[in-house]
Amino acid sequence: MTAPDHPDFATRLEAAKLEALAEFAAGAGHEINNPVATIVGRVQLLLAGETDPARRQSLLTIGGQAYRIRDMIGDAMLFARPPRPAPQAVDLSMAVREVATRFAPEAEAAGCRLDFDAAGCIMIWADPVQLRIVASSLIRNSLEAVGQGGAIAVHTAAPAGDSPAAVLTVRDDGPGLSAADREHLFDPFYSGRSAGRGLGFGLAKAWRIVSLHGGSIVVDPPPGATFRVFWPVAPPSPAP
């Protein structure tokens, strides 16, 4: 029997937890999505003939919350059993710049400064769609944390020294993270609202994707919150 403090035990425990989440999400998805679809369908039928503004708004709210339930179940299934990455050579700086540019209007509307600093072309080994999901999740998390008048800095850096990984850094000047937040930061459904963080799968999905690519995410201590993603620049060596 493997001791509880053995690394293999922790790995198997993590795999068992993910598999349990996947089984729950699959069963819950079937049982919950059917009534949710009924609610959404009924809302759409009622909206078609509703002219009262207050009742229309109530129906839209009901429909929106029903869609939120559906998306949460979908996120749980994607987290537990994500699609296998299809990695290829990707320019980290270009991909992150595209994501940051997409968030620029939202940041401006919130009175938040969003700065991007790229260290030229940095080729990494990544699924391009999943890479953009990671960058989007981190920037979205910082936007929710800083609020009006905050500042977010996004930076890419080439591997330093003998490091096999490029680095994506997202830093914000929000309220920072408590010890409990740091411990549970990548747990799905953990709420860090006391630190200005949202509720859901954004950071959990980012962690899952980075892990599947053989990378890692490090969270620096306050002030603010700094997320550093270490992403491999080359495909993994084939097993002997």
Alpha-carbon distance of 224 to 227, in angstroms, equals 10
Domain 7-80 belongs in CATH node 3.40.50: no
Q: How confident is the model at residue 196 (pLDDT cuts 50, 70, 90)?
A: very low
- Report which of 112, 119, 35 is spatially closest to residue 73, judged by C-alpha positions: 35
Instruction: Give the bridge partners for 82, in sequence order.
Output: none
Q: How confident is the model at residue 116 (pLDDT cuts 50, 70, 90)?
A: very high
Q: Which residue has the tokens 């349990």?
A: 20
Write down the pTM of the prediction.
Answer: 0.70
pLDDT value at position 228? Answer: 93
The full set of domain ranges for the chain reads 7-80, 88-232
pLDDT value at position 122? Answer: 92
Fold identical between 7-80 and 88-232?
A: no
Q: How confident is the model at residue 83 (pLDDT cuts 50, 70, 90)?
A: confident
Question: What's domain 88-232's architecture?
Answer: 2-Layer Sandwich (3.30)
The answer on pLDDT for 99 being more than 90 is: yes
Q: Are 149 and 112 in contact (CB under 8 A)?
A: yes
Q: How confident is the model at residue 209 (pLDDT cuts 50, 70, 90)?
A: confident
pLDDT value at position 161? Answer: 80
Q: Are 170 and 145 in contact (CB under 8 A)?
A: no
235 Cβ partners below 8 Å, 6+ apart? 87, 125
The answer on pLDDT for 240 being more than 50 is: no
- Beta strands, E only, 109-149: 113-117, 123-126
